[in-house]
Every structure is written in structure tokens, then in C-alpha cells.
């Protein structure tokens, strides 16, 4: 957004230093038995970056997300989030360090209300103890009220405020995707991982989603890493793209560079003829 | 806030003094049993309903709490007061001739202490059992907890005889002479720990029930309760949202064990009950599971309603004698066929559409 040469004014830009990567992944490997799911995967995300991770089905994209969020433990390599080495940490600790995600196959808390889904995300930032929650101390009530307000403002941002009391599983598909993003943002992340947010959306919804991802990045000052199958969307909003195929990084660069890369074309289209770039 | 606690106290006092004047002893003890069963069902609901883990060893905690409480009220009483007899006041015990007794006879504080000891011992054991086993999921956890109950049962079965009066000596004398460390092991083996002072009254049973419901409700409506529920809904997503799932499962388990221990203390000290190893067995655990499933996993009011129904149903059916248990079983089967989510599902009574509509209508509608 804005002119790249303009003085950096907003907080996110000001927080950037020369070497400062928010998320620094280097040489991460993961095998399942004989299958090398991810091989020496490296990626750097600066503050406020919006990068994409693409690749054909089974290329290892979601495995990468699972490695980053601690669902799987990498066989080798290092992952640094805001200066903290997070390899070997449990997912909940990594979330506490500032990484949050959505899931490819939506994983909402189906029987909980829309508001409660977002409030579970906010639990991480709660200060009062379980004991004071049982005693319902003044502090716990203030903290619950603040959490509710934050959750409602998130729901308002995503246009879900009037459905706050509905059970999450009753939401239409597109709203469920939005709710997952809202829930992830409730953890107040530094890095937000979006796993195929446009899956199953029609073209109108995709356009809305594209604008929403940009707005999320700007309003919540988060760094976004996006897995997406929809090339139009990725090429449109991502500043930098990494392409995986069979667990290997075959290309990385700006959308234009990646699009022109013969390896990428081969991975996606298979044969040499049929190249239309 | 203090007023719900005051309300719980007032509720227990009303049930106690009201029940004592209105009910005959049979119904009074039935009402005590209802209080104990509410405590058991609502506490198990914290594990099976809130966090979605399937514990099948709740009766193990019941028995541990009951025996720990009994050791305090029997042996402890002999050591502290020099007598195993009950120190009765108006708030203790079920006999109905209470004229002339002091309001607090000293036994109340002692029994409260014993109940807390029972609860804490059960909670401690809950922590030891829960920490390794709650890393397991689903069926495995069920098997481990089932095994836990059986271990408790067998261990109690192996315990020594209760020290009672005999050989020309009083029980107090014999207890004084016995080394302290042998006392917790002298709880009657398979014969049961049957001569405990019967402190349990309507007051204590319903105070425990009200306290359990209050704690469960406040948890459920707080961020900690939502964290519990998120584990039930989707453990992977809960973890990704920063919920330390192991820690929260253990917390729910320990809390549930505490209340089960308190309920055990109440149960063992109820008139007409002889605490025995069978109380730790799976039969008793299933009874509690039935209440939770019948009421709807996760619903506190459902667990309360189911505890009342499950306590009363076999009693109502006494009229049809030998068909009693068949009808009881059939009722449960039919309920599960036509309402598999339980009476109230995951919701609370006041969240049901019917009641909401009715209450909304009464307020003039919106």
C-alpha cells in the first residue's frame, strides 16, 4: 500500500529493522517413513509481509503449516518466531509466541456460539486465574467484559456481529471461513497463517476475500503467509511467492518471476507444450 | 460476588429444616441421596461433558473420598476427641429427634474438615492418575480410568479390619494403642467400613450439591469453561488457539475428583450406608455416567435433572417389584433412541427454545 519511497509512518513499518524477520524458517525437513514431505524449506517473513505458498496437491504446503505451528516436529532445521526458537514447542506455546492459523478443512468449535469461538481465541491473552473465575472476582469480570468487547469488535470487522449467538456449525460456509480468521486474530498474533481461505468460494466471494485479507493485514498489523490454490488470488495480493513441489522448494520470488519460472510451469502443467505462461 | 454463596447456604438450610419437618425418614434419606448424586453427576460432567474425555472411574474417587473422610471422622475423632461417637448438632445427621441439640455441635466443623480431606485426597489422586492418562484419547482413557476404579476397589479389599470395641476394651482404647500408620489401612477390607458416625444430613448433601453446581456453572460461563469446551469440540484447533489441552484436561479431572471425593465423604456417612469396596467398582461408575449421558453431555442443569430422575425412578418402580430394573433399563434405552443427545443436549434448561419462548412471552416478548 502507498508509495514505497514515502516516509514510513505506521507502527508496523517503524518496527521493521534491516535484518528483522518476524518469522525465519531455515532448512526445515520432515519425512513420514520413506516419504520426504518437506525438504530443506526456508522462508523469511518481514513485518507486515503478505507472502504466498503455492504448489500442486500433495506438494507439502499444509505439512509446512503443521511444522510451523508445532503439530509436527521438524526432523531438522530451525524456525524462529520474533527471535524465539520455536522448534519442539507445543502448538499452544507457539500460539502464545504469536503465531496463529486457520485450517484447510474448517475446524471451528461447532457446538459453541460464534462469539464463543472467537473468545476461545482470546483465552490466551487472559490474565485472571481459574480460581478467580470461579470466585468471579472483580478482576475476572472486568477481564471477561474486555474479552467480550474485543471479540465483538472482531466479529463486527468480519460482518458477523449479528450472528454472534448462533451456533458456529449453522453458519454458511463463507462465514465459517471468516469466523476462522476472526478466531485466529483473537489470539493477537504477529504471524497469521491462512490455509486455503478461498477454498469453496465463488468468484464474487473471492474478490471480497482478497480485499479482506489486505484489510486484515493493515488493520491488525499482522504478517500473513497464505496457502492458496486460486492462482488469481495469490498473484494478485502476495508480494512474494514460494512454490513447493514434492516437498521441495522449486521457486521463490515475486509473482511475475514465479509465473515465468519454467519449473513452476512444469510442476503445474506437466508437459513442455501447453505453456502459455 | 458473595450472594450466590449465600444463596447456596440458604438453599441448603431450607432443604434441611424444611425437609426434616415435612418428610419421613425414608424420603429424607432419598433426598440426601439426590444431593449426593447431583454432586457426582455435575462433577463428572466437568470431565465427560466439558472436556469431552471419557472417564469411567468416577466411583474410584467417590470411594477414595469416602474412605479418607471416614478415617478422619472415625479414627480422627477418637484421637482428637477421645471418642468415636458422633458429636451432633442441629445441622448434622439424619435422626429426627433434634430437640435440645446445639445449632453447631462441634461435629459440623469436624465433618466439614473431613469432607475437605476426602475431596483433597481424591483430587490428589486425580492429579496422579490424570497427568499420564489424559495424554491418551478416547477409548484408551476410558480403559485406564476403568482400571483405576478397579485398582481402588482391590486395594480397599486388601485392607485390614476396622478397629472396634472387643476383648473387654473400648474402641477408643484400642485406637489409642494402635500405631498411627496402621489406621488408614484398617478400613474393613471387603467387609466394608460400616461403623462410621453418620454425619451426613440434608444440609451437607445439598450444600455440596449447590456448591458443585455453582462452581460448574461459573466455570462453564467463564473463559476457562470455554477452553474446556473447545477441547471437546476440536482438540487440534483448541491447541492451535493457545489452549494447553493437557493442562486443562488435568484441571477438569482434578476438580471433578475433588467433588467426587466430597460426595464420597457424604455417601459413606449417610445413615444406612455401609461404605464398601464395591462402591469403587465400575457398576457405581456406570450409574454416574448414566446420569451425565441422560442429562446431556455438557449440560449442568441436565445432569441435575438426570441425577434426580435416576435416583427416584427405581424407587417409584418399587411398586412393580421384579419388573423394576427391566422397566428402568428400558426407559434408559428408549430415551437414548429417541433423544441420543440426552434430555437437554449440550444446552442448559434456560436456553431451551421452549422455555426461552415461554420466558420471553412472560416478559412481554421482544
Closest Cβ opposite residue B242 in set A96, A143, A144: A96
User: Rounded to a whole number, what is the distance in angstroms from the first to the last CA of chain B?
Assistant: 30
* DSSP-based three-state secondary structure for B312: helix
Sorting pLDDT into bands at 50, 70 and 90, what band is A18? very low
**Are the beta carbons of A140 and B238 separated by less than 8 Å?**
no
Positions of chain B with pLDDT under 50: 361-366
pLDDT in tens, A157-194: 999 999 999 999 999 988 999 999 999 999 999 999 99
- From residue B117, alpha-carbon distances to B64, B91, B152, B259, B263 in Å are 10, 19, 17, 11, 12
* DSSP-based three-state secondary structure for B74: helix
Q: Please state the pTM of the whole predicted model.
A: 0.89
Residue holding cell 519449473? A263
The distance of A246 to chain B (nearest Cα, Å) reads: 25
Residue B23: Cβ-neighbour burial (10 angstroms; 0-12, 13-18, 19+):
middle
For residue B245, which residues of chain A lie inside 8 Å, CB to CB?
A: 92
Q: Which residue of B has its CA nearest to A104?
A: B237
Mutation for testing the B interface, residue in A97, A113, A130, A165 having most B CBs under 10 Å: A130
Q: Which of the two residues, A20 and B321, has the higher pLDDT score?
A: A20
Query: Where are the strands (E) in chain A, listed by range?
Result: 23-32, 35-45, 50-54, 76-81, 84-85, 99-101, 191-195, 223-227, 240-245, 248-253
Q: Which of the two residues, B196 and A269, has the higher pLDDT score?
A: B196
pLDDT in tens, B310-324: 899 888 887 776 777
Best mean pLDDT range from A29-33, A273-277, B65-69, B74-78: B65-69
**Are the beta carbons of B229 and A109 separated by less than 8 Å?**
yes
Average pLDDT, chain B: 87
For residue B251, which residues of chain A lie inside 8 Å, CB to CB?
A: 130
Task: Give the C-alpha separation, B144 to B125, whole Å.
Answer: 14
Helix, strand, coil percentages (3-state) for chain B, rounded to 5, are 70, 0, 25
The CA dihedral of A146, A152, A155, A156, to the nearest 10 degrees, is -120
State yes or no: pLDDT of A276 exceeds 60: no
Q: Are A184 and A100 within 8 A, CB to CB?
A: yes
Task: Give the C-alpha separation, A176 to B194, whole Å.
Answer: 58
Tell me the β-bridge partners of A167. A113
pLDDT in tens, B218-276: 999 999 999 999 999 999 999 999 999 999 999 999 999 999 999 999 999 998 888 99
- How large a percentage of chain A has pLDDT more than 70? 91
Mutation for testing the A interface, residue in B4, B51, B242, B296 having most A CBs under 10 Å: B242
pLDDT in tens, A73-114: 999 999 999 989 999 999 999 999 999 999 999 999 999 999
Residue holding cell 472417564? B55
**Are the beta carbons of B241 and A183 separated by less than 8 Å?**
yes
The CA dihedral of A153, A155, A157, A159, to the nearest 10 degrees, is -140
Q: Which of the two residues, B62 and A269, has the higher pLDDT score?
A: B62
CA-wise closest residue to A143 among B250, A115, A151: A151
State yes or no: pLDDT of A39 exceeds 70: yes
Residue holding cell 419421613? B24
pLDDT at position A110 is 92
- From residue A31, alpha-carbon distances to A25, A27, A90, A104, B357 in Å are 17, 13, 19, 21, 56
pLDDT at position B317 is 81
- Domain residues of chain B, as ranges? 2-281
DSSP state of B99: T
Q: Are A68 and A79 within 8 A, CB to CB?
A: yes
State yes or no: pLDDT of A118 exceeds 70: yes
For residue B218, which residues of chain A lie inside 8 Å, CB to CB?
A: 133-134, 136
Amino acid at each position: 500500500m502507498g508509495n514505497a519511497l514515502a516516509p514510513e509512518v505506521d507502527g508496523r513499518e517503524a518496527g521493521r529493522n534491516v535484518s528483522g524477520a518476524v518469522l525465519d524458517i531455515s532448512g526445515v525437513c520432515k519425512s513420514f517413513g520413506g516419504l520426504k514431505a518437506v525438504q530443506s524449506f526456508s522462508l523469511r517473513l518481514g513485518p507486515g509481509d503478505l507472502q504466498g505458498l503455492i504448489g500442486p496437491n500433495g506438494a507439502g504446503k499444509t505439512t509446512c503449516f503443521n511444522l510451523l505451528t508445532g503439530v509436527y516436529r521438524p526432523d531438522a532445521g530451525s524456525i524462529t518466531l520474533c527471535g524465539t526458537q520455536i522448534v519442539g514447542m507445543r502448538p499452544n506455546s507457539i500460539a502464545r509466541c504469536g503465531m496463529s492459523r486457520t485450517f484447510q478443512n474448517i475446524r471451528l468449535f461447532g457446538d459453541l456460539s460464534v462469539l464463543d469461538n472467537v473468545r476461545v481465541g482470546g483465552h490466551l491473552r487472559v490474565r485472571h486465574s481459574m480460581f478467580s473465575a470461579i470466585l468471579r472476582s472483580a478482576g475476572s469480570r472486568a477481564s471477561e467484559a474486555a474479552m467480550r468487547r474485543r471479540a465483538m469488535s472482531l466479529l463486527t470487522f468480519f460482518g458477523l456481529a449479528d450472528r454472534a449467538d448462533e451456533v458456529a456449525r449453522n453458519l454458511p460456509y463463507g462465514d465459517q471461513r471468516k469466523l476462522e480468521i476472526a478466531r485466529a486474530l483473537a489470539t493477537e498474533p504477529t504471524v497469521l497463517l491462512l490455509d486455503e481461505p478461498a477454498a469453496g468460494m465463488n468468484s464474487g466471494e473471492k474478490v471480497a476475500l482478497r480485499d479482506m485479507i489486505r484489510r486484515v493485514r493493515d488493520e491488525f498489523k499482522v504478517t500473513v503467509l497464505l496457502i492458496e490454490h486460486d492462482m488469481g488470488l495469490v498473484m494478485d495480493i502476495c508480494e512474494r511467492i514460494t512454490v513447493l513441489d514434492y516437498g521441495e522448494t522449486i521457486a521463490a520470488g515475486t509473482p511475475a518471476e514465479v509465473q515465468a519460472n519454467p519449473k513452476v510451469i512444469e510442476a503445474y502443467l506437466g508437459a513442455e507444450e501447453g505453456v502459455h505462461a | 460476588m458473595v450472594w450466590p454463596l449465600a444463596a447456596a447456604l440458604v438453599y441448603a438450610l431450607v432443604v434441611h429444616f424444611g425437609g426434616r419437618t415435612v418428610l419421613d425418614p425414608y424420603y429424607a434419606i432419598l433426598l440426601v441421596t439426590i444431593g449426593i448424586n447431583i454432586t457426582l453427576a455435575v462433577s463428572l460432567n466437568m470431565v465427560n461433558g466439558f472436556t469431552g474425555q471419557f472417564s469411567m472411574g468416577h466411583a474410584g474417587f467417590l470411594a477414595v473420598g469416602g474412605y479418607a473422610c471416614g478415617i478422619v471422622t472415625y479414627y480422627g475423632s477418637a484421637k482428637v476427641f477421645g471418642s468415636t461417637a458422633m458429636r451432633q448438632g442441629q445441622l448434622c445427621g439424619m435422626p429426627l429427634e433434634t430437640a435440645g441439640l446445639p445449632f453447631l455441635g462441634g461435629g459440623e466443623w469436624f465433618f466439614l474438615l473431613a469432607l475437605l480431606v476426602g475431596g483433597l485426597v481424591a483430587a490428589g489422586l486425580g492429579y496422579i492418575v490424570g497427568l499420564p492418562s489424559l495424554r491418551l484419547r478416547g477409548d484408551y482413557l476410558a480403559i485406564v480410568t476403568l482400571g483405576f476404579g478397579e485398582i481402588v476397589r482391590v486395594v480397599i479389599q486388601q485392607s485390614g479390619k476396622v478397629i472396634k470395641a472387643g476383648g473387654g476394651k473400648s474402641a477408643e482404647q484400642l485406637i489409642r494403642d494402635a500405631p498411627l500408620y496402621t489406621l488408614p489401612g484398617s478400613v474393613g477390607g471387603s467387609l466394608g467400613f460400616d461403623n462410621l458416625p453418620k454425619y451426613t444430613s440434608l444440609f451437607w448433601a445439598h450444600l455440596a450439591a449447590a456448591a458443585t453446581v455453582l462452581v460448574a456453572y461459573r466455570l462453564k460461563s467463564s473463559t476457562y469453561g470455554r477452553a474446556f469446551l473447545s477441547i471437546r469440540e476440536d482438540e487440534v484447533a483448541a491447541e492451535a488457539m493457545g489452549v494447553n489441552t493437557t493442562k486443562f484436561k488435568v484441571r477438569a479431572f482434578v476438580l471433578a475428583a475433588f467433588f467426587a471425593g466430597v460426595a464420597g465423604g457424604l455417601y459413606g456417612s449417610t445413615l444406612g450406608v455401609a461404605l464398601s469396596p464395591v462402591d469403587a467398582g465400575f457398576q457405581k461408575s456406570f450409574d454416574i455416567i448414566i446420569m451425565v449421558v441422560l442429562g446431556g453431555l455438557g449440560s449442568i442443569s441436565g445432569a441435575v435433572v438426570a441425577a434426580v430422575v435416576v435416583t427416584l425412578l427405581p424407587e417409584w418402580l418399587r411398586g412393580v417389584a421384579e419388573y423394576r430394573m427391566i422397566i428402568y433399563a428400558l426407559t434408559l434405552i428408549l430415551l437414548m433412541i429417541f433423544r441420543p443427545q440426552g434430555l437437554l443436549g449440550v444446552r442448559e434448561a434456560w436456553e431451551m427454545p421452549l422455555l426461552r419462548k415461554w420466558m420471553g412471552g412472560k416478559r412481554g416478548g421482544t
